[in-house]
Amino acid sequence: MSNETRDLYNHQYPSSFSLYEMMNLPTSAAPSSYGNTSFDPSSYSFTDCLQSSPAAYESLLQKNFGLSPSSSEVFNSSIDQESNRDVTNDVINGGVSTETATRVSASSSSSEADHPGEVSVKSRRKRELGGNGGEEDQNSKKVGKTKKNEVKKQREPRVSFMTKSEVDHLEDGYRWRKYGQKAVKNSPYPRSYYRCTTQRCNVKKRVERSFQDPTVVITTYESQHNHPIPTNLRGSSAAAAMFSAADLMTPRNFSHDMFRSSAYTTGGAAASALDYGYGQDVNANPSMHQEYHHGGEYELLREIFPSIFFKQEP
């Protein structure tokens, strides 16, 4: 953690922060007034969220988010660090009840070393399939139980984004392999599970469509990439770099899928700029965004995306 980030953790933040505030909308505004959807900003609060990411919160406060109904397709993002609650579900449920919404949950950590479960489960399953069955299986189950008692399974921090997009799987520069899909309770839309294809990188992401607003895609990232962004992809590495999981907790993260999905939904200059303009920098270094200032398209992007995504350097 940088000194700057550490300092931000010492700040005091309001306990609740709705998108109305972030968007400078009057709290009495009709929900339907947000863009062309029925999204209700009042349903989404940043309570808890920024306890886990004060830097991002700080940025929101400073910039007042700079979001306008027409300028961004990103409704919300949240960082889950505090409990084992499911961020995505919280976001969805938040659309129904008020206040609880974007509870960014939490997590814990389970790096490869922290969760040998991945390996043990595999081997157990293999054993079962191998037909040795019986005793060994019971033993492994016992082990699992004792572990459960000793250490509560921990999870990596999660960050979720709500983006308005036609496509479910938004490109972010990294390569993903889908490893599962599940039906979501109370939703006609399934949830897809992706894992980063890079070896020894255990970053996962879940993608699902909001049943309340099918135009909204909810993407939840878990863990952090331990490698640079692949260079040989059509997708902009720069756009992805802005969301490097190595920087998961920085304000810049809020640019990630909004960036990409906006490109999709606006369909024009932004997409071009993203796809062809900034594919050079492999490393998601902190000075990354400065490079945008040098390109002619920076100004164009600035116009398209909210100010928070292009934090201006003094």
Partner DNA sequence: CGGTTTTGACCTGCGC
Partner DNA sequence: GCGCAGGTCAAAACCG
Binding site for DNA (CB under 7 A): 84, 86, 88-89, 117-118, 121-122, 124-126, 128-129, 141, 144, 148, 153, 175-185, 191-193, 195, 197, 204, 206
d(CA 305, CA 265): 12
Which CB atom, from 191 or from 252, has the smaller least distance to DNA? 191
Nearer to DNA, 125 or 293 (CB): 125
CB of 106 to DNA, least distance (A): 12
Task: Report, in Å, the least distance between residue 13 CB and DNA.
Answer: 26
- Of 85 and 302, the one with the shorter C-beta distance to DNA is 85
Nearer to DNA, 70 or 149 (CB): 149
248 contacts: CB under 8 Å, gap ≥ 6: 79, 157, 159, 221, 224
Question: Smallest gap, in angstroms, from Cβ of residue 22 to DNA?
Answer: 26
Q: Pick the closer one to DNA by CB: 182 or 293.
A: 182
User: Which residue is it, tokens 């027409």?
Assistant: 70
Backbone φ and ψ for 177, nearest 5 degrees, come out as -115, 130
- Specify the residue, 216 or 270, whose C-beta has the smaller distance to DNA: 216
The least distance separating DNA from the CB of residue 187, rounded to whole angstroms, comes to 8
Q: How far is CA 35 from the centre of its chain?
A: 22
Minimum distance from residue 214 beta carbon to DNA (Å): 17
Taking the complex as a whole, how short is the minimal distance between the CB of residue 296 and DNA, in angstroms?
33
The distance of closest approach from Cβ of residue 56 to DNA in the complex, given in angstroms and rounded to an integer, is: 22
CB atoms inside a 10 Å sphere around CB 119: 10
Q: Is 24 exposed, middle or buried (0-12, 13-18, 19+ CB in 10 A)?
A: exposed
Contact between 66 and 307 under an 8 Å Cβ cutoff? The reply is: yes
* Helix or strand (DSSP H, E) at 162: strand 158-164
Q: Alpha carbon of 170 to those of 9, 173, 226: distances in Å?
A: 31, 9, 20
Output 128 or 291, the one with its CB closest to DNA: 128
Report helix, strand or coil for 124: helix
Are 175 and 233 in contact by the 8 Å Cβ rule? The answer is yes
Alpha-carbon gap, residue 117 to 301, rounded angstroms: 44
